């Protein structure tokens, strides 16, 4: 199997985390969710501990290390999810994907549940003190019919989402979502918080998901997602925002 490629570092944009999700058609019940968590704690080679909650409900998350550097959750009964923060090494990511998902899929109800899709989610973020929505419009809509619909002072909503097929395969899909966090109050007052602009890149498979070898399947999907992002999206989506942030900071200094 190929190695999991590293995401290149950029000066201003932080690579935050990678998520790995398996989505079921029908939800797991309470007993199934508890059994999944128990199986992962007992049978995964990655030693995870329950994350305590403030209320008296049962834990839905298992985590490893300070800051929850590796997290496994079944908060949504339709979904199993692993999240690895950016500092987790490629080798540890691969071990975690394989070991945790294989342990979870030992639960009988999980083995027979219909799978809607599986995906890999990469998250990047950067702090920006200003109108996020105007910045995103200027950067990503430049030269388009939407560029001058509103003046920069009037834009208060401009989250971006675009999705498409990967290499023409109808079962392999990619969705890009870019979200700002500027409120209408901030725009009216001109008093901005130093909030984050988030870039989410979802890379999904909707067919032929191997439940009998789910660990290797998810590891391969992760490798495919990284290769696709590095080859097709970093220069077109992530790097332009990095360069714009560098330009803005240079103008302010």
Residue with tokens 């200027």: 138
Query: How long, in residues, is the chain?
Result: 253
Q: First CA to last CA across the chain, in angstroms?
A: 47
Other beta carbons within 10 Å of 136: 22
Look at residue 217 in the predicted model and tell me its pLDDT.
97
Residue with tokens 């990619």: 174
Phi, psi of 84 (to 5 degrees): -120, 125
Phi, psi of 221 (to 5 degrees): -60, -40
Look at residue 253 in the predicted model and tell me its pLDDT.
56
Please say whether the beta carbons of 204 and 213 come within 8 A.
no
Residue with tokens 């942030």: 245
Residue 214 C-beta-side C-alpha neighbours within 13 Å = 25
Look at residue 86 in the predicted model and tell me its pLDDT.
94
pLDDT tens by residue, the chain, 253 residues? 688 998 988 889 999 999 999 999 999 999 999 999 999 999 999 999 999 776 656 779 999 988 899 999 999 999 999 999 999 999 999 999 999 999 999 999 999 999 999 999 999 999 999 999 999 999 999 898 888 888 888 899 999 999 999 987 889 999 999 999 999 999 999 999 999 999 999 999 999 899 999 999 999 999 999 999 999 999 999 999 999 998 988 777 5
CA of 82: how far to CAs of 88, 100, 157, 212, in Å?
12, 8, 31, 19
Look at residue 111 in the predicted model and tell me its pLDDT.
93
Measured distance CA(63)–CA(61) in Å, rounded: 7
What are 80's two structure tokens?
């199993």
Residue with tokens 């989506």: 237
Strands 14-24 and 49-50, sheet pairing? unpaired
């Amino acid at each position: 199997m190929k190695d999991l490629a590293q995401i290149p570092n950029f000066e201003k944009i932080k690579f935050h985390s990678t998520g790995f999700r398996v989505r079921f058609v029908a939800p797991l019940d309470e007993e199934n969710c508890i059994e999944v968590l128990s199986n992962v704690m007992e049978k995964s080679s990655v030693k995870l501990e329950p994350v305590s909650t403030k209320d008296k409900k049962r834990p839905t998350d298992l985590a490893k290390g300070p800051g929850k550097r590796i997290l496994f959750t079944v908060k949504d009964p339709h979904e199993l999810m692993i999240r690895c923060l950016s500092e987790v090494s490629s080798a540890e990511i691969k071990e975690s994907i394989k070991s945790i998902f294989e342990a979870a899929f030992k639960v009988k109800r999980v083995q027979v549940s219909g799978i809607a899709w599986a995906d890999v989610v990469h998250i990047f973020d950067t702090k920006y003190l200003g109108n996020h929505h105007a910045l995103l419009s200027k950067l990503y809509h430049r030269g388009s019919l939407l560029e001058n619909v509103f003046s920069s002072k009037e834009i208060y909503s401009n989250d971006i989402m675009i999705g498409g097929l990967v290499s023409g395969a109808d079962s392999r899909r990619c969705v890009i979502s870019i979200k700002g966090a500027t409120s209408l109050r901030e725009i009216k007052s001109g008093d901005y918080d130093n909030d984050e602009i988030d870039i989410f890149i979802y890379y999904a498979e909707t067919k032929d998901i191997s439940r009998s070898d789910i660990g290797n399947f998810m590891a391969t999907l992760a490798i495919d997602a990284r290769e696709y992002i590095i080859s097709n999206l970093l220069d077109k989506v992530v790097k332009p925002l990095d360069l714009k942030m560098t330009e803005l900071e240079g103008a302010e200094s």
